[in-house]
Amino acid sequence: QKEVEQNSGPLSVPEGAIASLNCTYSDRVSQSFFWYRQYSGKSPELIMSIYSNGDKEDGRFTAQLNKASQYVSLLIRDSQPSDSATYLCAVKKDSNYQLIWGAGTKLIIKP
Amino acid sequence: GAGVSQSPSNKVTEKGKDVELRCDPISGHTALYWYRQSLGQGLEFLIYFQGNSAPDKSGLPSDRFSAERTGGSVSTLTIQRTQQEDSAVYLCASSLGGGYTEAFFGQGTRLTVV
């Protein structure tokens, strides 16, 4: 089992709809979780960080964390074509603060 | 500087030559990560520096790869006797260190071995 797992996609969502991206992790004691967006040919860009159970909202983005079930998700409301990118989930190990990455989910927003 | 700076942005080298890639992290950031990303692939961990602790070198693919971090700031990734399979984008990220801190990436160095 990989330490951080994401569905590779592609996930196709119509413009204006909600895109839901999911990530599961294996290290039960992890405390820090991150979502990054990577456009083709560019480096990853931080979108959200979340450290506590529940929801965290920032504009059109909402991160959700459920430590009991060991998953973290990212919701994108009112999806735009410019949201088309690969979304990477990262989990920070509690033991040495090393970042462990998922393989990423490719999101396509169709106009 | 305001962000993580990597140089050069692009590097074309002949097979068998040595290359050095530089990463200048955000000022005050104690944690520094190197990753490699081949076209269409995910991030491949190479090495992780955290303060004065011994670096985690477990991701280095062969002994041709080495990295150092001088004075807890600038880091250099060295690839000796480059091979065509080393062609990729090399990404550096830094963070404040500790648990509840965010990592920020440089723009990457695109290495092409011909």
Is the distance from CB of B35 to CB of B91 less than 8 angstroms?
Answer: yes
Give Cα A63 distance to the centre of its chain. 8
The pLDDT > 90 percentage for chain A reads 85
- Which residues, in sequence order, are bridge partners of residue B112? B12
Residues of A whose CB is below 8 A from B50: 96-97
A15-62 per-position pLDDT tens digit:
999 999 999 999 888 889 999 999 999 999 999 999 999 999 999 999
Is the distance from CB of B40 to CB of B56 less than 8 angstroms?
Answer: no
Mutate to test the interface with A, among B90, B105, B109, B110 (most CBs of A within 10 A): B105
The pLDDT > 70 percentage for chain A reads 100
Measure CB to CB from residue A43 to each of B91, B99, B100 and give the nearest one.
Answer: B91
Residue B32's CB: how many other CB atoms inside 10 A? 28
- Which residues, in sequence order, are bridge partners of residue B47? B34
For A63-96, give one letter per residue: b (16+ CB within 10 A) or e.
bbbebeeebbbbbbeebeeebbbbbbbbbbbeee
Mapped to the 3 state alphabet, what secondary structure does A30-64 carry? CCEEEEEEECCCCCCEEEEEECCCEEEEECCEEEE
